[in-house]
Structure 1
Amino acid sequence: MRSSKVTGVAAVAVATALLGGCATLPASGPTTEQIDPPSVSNTAIKDYLLVDLNQRVVDVLSQYRAAPFSKRFAAPQPAPGQIVGVGDVLSVQLFEAGQGGLFSSDLGARVSLTQRVDSDGSITVPYAGRISAAGAGPQTVEKRIVAALEGRAIQPQALVQITETVSRSFVVNGEVGKPGRFPITAAGDRVLDAIATAGGAKNELFQTRVTLVRGSSQASAIMKTLVDNPADNVFVQPGDRVYLTKDPELFLAFGAVPQPGPIMFDLERISLLEAVGKAGGLMDQRSDPGALFVFRYEPASAARAIRPDYDGRFGERVPMVYRVNLRDPAAYFYAKAFVVRDKDVLYVANAKLSELQKFLQILATARNVAQTAQTVQRLSQQ
């Protein structure tokens, strides 16, 4: 009998020892204490910056705009006019003042030619020979042709137009109506103009990712960002490549919510309060309303605006954790104004009572195991 009691006590003791800390309990994520250790201040957290959401933070974030294109691809509007480049196709029309000249025919004293600029930058004009064209404007090419025909043709004149340009063009591919290569207009084209020229995007603005490649540099942004932030709608440059892909915005929900996992945006703008609703709200039996967290990366400029004490240790991409206490009625206004971004992580921690209930359930299981062990031992002794 003494042996059976020892067996039961030992089983319970082992279970209690193993479950002495919250970290040993089954959970869907970290506890509030693990995210915000009570023994240290926020500035002492080494892996991320923890910020309590309030009106000031919401105001800073509402004014801040990411600038994926304007900072990397800032370029002035192209100068008015066109420049001939290698590979361009030119329409050349030659005129004489009277009949009987070099270009006289039944149609009159004129001739029309189509010339592609060779790799050496020149075109060939009858009776004028090789004319340098690349790097010059159409009017300059006209003057060079007329100068080469002086003394041969009767008061020659020339008209040069660029009908197809390769050197001053851009390429649009992907989820657009008419992908292809297009010339840059004399007035200049911005990214959204280029997309419109290619037939427009096939998908919604907030489901379309635009990638701009210029030389060895590239950046991506959701198309709606270019619409909302005109500074990011930069001018395309010769040789630019624009790619459109369907990349729906989504956020990830974890923890004590009924519908964890990736949740797609079905609106152009989703607030934190709407995101919680899309995840099914908070689970009454498990969640801690005072421990709603949003994990995301912020540029260093935004981090410094929110936390002036930020020491810059994370570089240009700062891991930020925003904490929202929904026990505070004012927090609902903050959460409604806080805009969720693509790939944000929403996490709701378990309530401490839920952790206690888990512990008691496992402890009850351990007691049942101990009782079973006693029964087996007693039967074996009979």
Structure 2
Amino acid sequence: MDLTKKLLISAMASAMLVGCTVPGSHLNIEDKAVVKVSQEESNISEQVNVYPLTAKMVSSFKTPRVISKQNPALDAEIAQYQYRIGTGDILNVTIWDHPELTIPAGSYRSSTEAGNWVHSDGTIFYPYIGLVNVAGKTVTEVRDEMANRLKKFIESPQVDVNVAAFRSQKAYITGEVNIPGQQPVTNVPMTLLDAVNRAGGLAEEADWRNITLTRNGSEERISLYALMQRGDLTQNRLLRPGDIVHVPRNDAQKVFVMGEVNNPQLLKIDRAGMSLTEALSTVGGINELEADATGVFVIRGNNSQEESSDTLANIYQLNIKDASALVIGTEFELQPYDIVYVTAAPISRWNRVVRQLLPTITGFNDLSEAALRVRTWP
């Protein structure tokens, strides 16, 4: 065996040895149970629709603009609102011209201290007439009942009943507000907007487009963006005892910008929303040396019930080879979990292949030169 063959065998043995100890992590699936997928299921191309974003078509993809609306149903509900007494409330009962019945413990005690506590059985005790069932009734109903029962002992009693302390009924506001916690339900109607304001307003990380109102086990999604920013009063609600208003974090309000851009990253959609052009601007624009300006794509998973179940995703393509097309991108509003992907130009992809081959080619050239030097060694 001549020296050249020995050199080649040594080089191959070294390469095989190095291949067994390559640094870094690796996942080998050959020795694992791989789930077989049919050819029909593996063909993703048939499950994706591609729509070009043109000046004429972009309007059909725009999210309907929220407009200001009145809420006559809420106005009527507020006009008819009456507080109903509950266990734990304190009532203040006044019998005109009979101070001994009004404040029997002395005139220097507050209404809360001298009032009538609603017991766990829903009753209060009052002189002469004994137990009065007040739970679930309005102050007007309690006043009429007490006046009728006191007629036996007082001529033409003038009775006034009001709630001195509201303690029985509460609504709750949780999540991304500045002062989360419980808020008492009183004789003054409290709407969702009132509750948010009493809680100190929304926190910086609040997702105000997906507020949830839970009532009697049912959950309703409400947009405070439409209510507070656009004046859509149909999003407002009159809160009832036991309601839970939750303001989530905006963690789900994110889009992914990838591919040939100057600073690929995850972006969060702010309260005003985010357009395609705004997302590209935030990441420093496309990489002018590597990107294919005709291939700016928005990949959107199919979460709509209106789309066919066979559609996996919709892809929207924007051609910004003419930079004026970025105006079209300002009209295309991104949605949570959209993927903005900018493809590489064909020459860039070819250059990457070449860069992968260069080390191997260089290694073979060095090996050939070494063998040549050995062969010509005197």
Determine which of 355, 362, 366 is the counterpart of 1:361: 355
Q: Find the counterpart in structure 2 of residue 285 from structure 1.
A: 289
* TM-score of the pair, normalised by structure 1: 0.69
Say if 1:166 and 1:297 are closer, same or farther in 2 by CA, change over 3 A.
farther
1:293 maps to amino acid: F
CA contact (8 A) 1:102 1:152 kept: no
Q: Find the counterpart in structure 2 of residue 91 from structure 1.
A: 91
> Within the alignment, does 1:224 sit opposite 2:225 as a pair?
yes
Say if 1:143 and 1:265 are closer, same or farther in 2 by CA, change over 3 A.
same
Q: Find the counterpart in structure 1 of residue 33 from structure 2.
A: none
2:131 maps to amino acid: R
Q: Kindly indicate whether structure 1 or structure 2 has the higher relative contact order, using CA contacts under 8 Å at least 6 residues apart.
A: 1
CA contact (8 A) 2:299 2:314 kept: yes
Q: Find the counterpart in structure 2 of residue 36 from structure 1.
A: none
Matches for 1:273-312 after TM superposition, within 5 Å: 273-297=277-301, 300=304, 304=306, 310-312=307-309
CA contact (8 A) 1:102 1:153 kept: no
2:289 maps to amino acid: Q
SS at match of 1:300: coil
2:298 maps to amino acid: V
Q: In 2, Cα distance between the equivalents of 1:119 and 1:80? A: 28
> Within the alignment, does 1:373 sit opposite 2:333 as a pair?
no
Q: In 2, Cα distance between the equivalents of 1:366 and 1:204? A: 51
Q: Find the counterpart in structure 1 of residue 327 from structure 2.
A: 333
1:120 maps to amino acid: D
Q: In 2, Cα distance between the equivalents of 1:135 and 1:194? A: 23
Structure 2 gaps of 5+ residues are 13-43, 67-73
Per the TM alignment, residue 142 of structure 1 is displaced from its structure 2 partner at its CA by 0.9
Q: Find the counterpart in structure 1 of residue 314 from structure 2.
A: 320
SS at match of 1:45: helix
Q: Find the counterpart in structure 2 of residue 119 from structure 1.
A: 120
Q: In 2, Cα distance between the equivalents of 1:121 and 1:90? A: 11
CA contact (8 A) 1:226 1:233 kept: yes
CA contact (8 A) 1:208 1:244 kept: no
Q: Find the counterpart in structure 1 of residue 28 from structure 2.
A: none
1:326 maps to amino acid: I
Per the TM alignment, residue 324 of structure 1 is displaced from its structure 2 partner at its CA by 1.3
SS at match of 2:297: strand
Matches for 1:1-382 after TM superposition, within 5 Å: 45-46=46-47, 48-55=48-55, 57-64=57-64, 77=77, 80-97=80-97, 113-166=114-167, 168-184=169-185, 188-203=189-204, 210-218=211-219, 223-227=224-228, 228=230, 229-244=232-247, 246-247=249-250, 249-264=253-268, 268-297=272-301, 300=304, 304=306, 310-313=307-310, 319-327=313-321, 331-375=325-369, 377=371
Per the TM alignment, residue 198 of structure 1 is displaced from its structure 2 partner at its CA by 2.0
Q: In 2, Cα distance between the equivalents of 1:319 and 1:217? A: 31
Q: In 1, Cα distance between the equivalents of 2:362 and 2:226? A: 59
Q: In 1, Cα distance between the equivalents of 2:94 and 2:338? A: 63
Larger fraction in strand: 1
1:203 maps to amino acid: E
Q: In 2, Cα distance between the equivalents of 1:285 and 1:61? A: 30
Q: In 2, Cα distance between the equivalents of 1:118 and 1:137? A: 16
Say if 1:344 and 1:88 are closer, same or farther in 2 by CA, change over 3 A.
farther
2:295 maps to amino acid: A
Per the TM alignment, residue 359 of structure 1 is displaced from its structure 2 partner at its CA by 1.4
Task: Using the aligned pairs only, state the percent identity.
Answer: 22
Per the TM alignment, residue 187 of structure 1 is displaced from its structure 2 partner at its CA by 6.4
SS at match of 1:82: coil
Q: In 1, Cα distance between the equivalents of 2:153 and 2:103? A: 13
SS at match of 1:273: helix
CA contact (8 A) 2:212 2:219 kept: yes
Q: In 1, Cα distance between the equivalents of 2:193 and 2:103? A: 48
Q: Find the counterpart in structure 2 of residue 18 from structure 1.
A: none
Q: Find the counterpart in structure 1 of residue 38 from structure 2.
A: none
CA contact (8 A) 1:94 1:156 kept: no
SS at match of 1:160: strand
Say if 1:370 and 1:176 are closer, same or farther in 2 by CA, change over 3 A.
same
Structure 1 gaps of 5+ residues are 12-42, 67-73, 305-309
2:250 maps to amino acid: D
CA contact (8 A) 1:205 1:222 kept: no
Per the TM alignment, residue 337 of structure 1 is displaced from its structure 2 partner at its CA by 1.2
Which one has a bigger Cα radius of gyration? 2
2:129 maps to amino acid: A
CA contact (8 A) 1:213 1:241 kept: yes
* TM-score of the pair, normalised by structure 2: 0.70
Q: Find the counterpart in structure 2 of residue 35 from structure 1.
A: none
CA contact (8 A) 1:76 1:235 kept: no
Q: In 1, Cα distance between the equivalents of 2:350 and 2:145? A: 90
Q: In 2, Cα distance between the equivalents of 1:162 and 1:122? A: 14
SS at match of 2:145: helix
Per the TM alignment, residue 277 of structure 1 is displaced from its structure 2 partner at its CA by 1.1
Q: In 1, Cα distance between the equivalents of 2:335 and 2:210? A: 14
1:51 maps to amino acid: Y
Q: Once superposed, what is the RMSD of the aligned Cα atoms?
A: 4.1
CA contact (8 A) 2:176 2:248 kept: yes
